[in-house]
Chains A and B, each alone.
Chain A
Amino acid sequence: AQSVTQLGSHVSVSEGALVLLRCNYSSSVPPYLFWYVQYPNQGLQLLLKYTTGATLVKGINGFEAEFKKSETSFHLTKPSAHMSDAAEYFCAVSLFTGTASKLTFGTGTRLQVTL
């Protein structure tokens, strides 16, 4: 079985500061990992994904994440926060069962960006 742990349900940063949202996973097989963002009253939007290959993954809106197998981590970063980044962020891990892929989500981290 696979699981995801997001450390910190709320993170607050100043505009222009580094954003770091933490995600650790547990998986019995090589994982596929995802970060999704949810803006208020909207559905989920894929930020980035890791499947195979390069461990540093770049996504939309200047976000990136690094897959570290030794640390079982997939932390999300952005060098400089913008007010528009305020949202809920979900880390997720995929398990392909052979007939369908299921995503297991972390509990989410709410990012607040202050002036």
Chain B
Amino acid sequence: SAVISQKPSRDICQRGTSLTIQCQVDSQVTMMFWYRQQPGQSLTLIATANQGSEATYESGFVIDKFPISRPNLTFSTLTVSNMSPEDSSIYLCSVGYGGTGELFFGEGSRLTVL
């Protein structure tokens, strides 16, 4: 398993601003993902964070809105840009090691946009 730390754990932001969420893992991991969990909803995959290259985004998510960096095998950031109240969600970083798809999750970053 992995210990995954996310910062901030929660934040309240103003409309139109941007927020960067950090994800730090205590070991090198092959795969890192960013998920969104809107209030009362399930998890939706935003993108796969690729080390050394551009992230791979899922349908409905674009780089201009959710830029992602992954400079090494233990760290990634997700930025939520030009926020609106609809971006109020929990953003979760997750990591995987192999081909079975088992993922480990951080505790999430709870974002409220006013």
What's the Cα separation between A103 and B94 when bound, in Å? 10
What's the Cα separation between A96 and B42 when bound, in Å? 21
**Which of B42, B48, B96, B100 has a CB less than 8 Å from the CB of A51?**
B100
Q: Which of A61-115 contact B (CB under 8 A)?
A: 90, 94-96, 100-108
Whether a CB of chain A sits under 8 angstroms from the CB of B103 is: yes
Contact B101 A107 (CB under 8 A): no
What's the Cα separation between A105 and B4 when bound, in Å? 20
What's the Cα separation between A71 and B49 when bound, in Å? 35
**Which of A34, A46, A106 has a CB less than 8 Å from the CB of B42?**
A106
Closest beta carbon of chain A to B8's beta carbon, Å: 14
Closest beta carbon of chain A to B105's beta carbon, Å: 4
Whether a CB of chain B sits under 8 angstroms from the CB of A44 is: yes
Given contacts A43-B105, A100-B48, contact A90 B43 (CB under 8 A): yes
Contact B45 A46 (CB under 8 A): no
Whether a CB of chain B sits under 8 angstroms from the CB of A42 is: yes
Closest beta carbon of chain B to A18's beta carbon, Å: 25
What's the Cα separation between A10 and B99 when bound, in Å? 32
Q: Which residues of B are found within 8 Å of A104, using beta-carbon distances?
A: 45
What's the Cα separation between A107 and B44 when bound, in Å? 10
Q: Which residues of A are found within 8 Å of B94, using beta-carbon distances?
A: 44, 103
Q: Which of B10-45 contact A (CB under 8 A)?
A: 30-31, 33, 41-45
Given contacts A43-B106, A100-B48, contact A105 B101 (CB under 8 A): no
Contact B100 A90 (CB under 8 A): no
Contact B104 A46 (CB under 8 A): yes
B residues in contact (CB < 8 Å) with A: 4, 30-31, 33, 41-45, 48, 56, 92, 94, 96, 98-108, 110
Known: A43-B4, A101-B99. 7 other contacts (CB 8 A): A32-B101, A32-B102, A42-B108, A90-B43, A100-B33, A102-B48, A105-B42
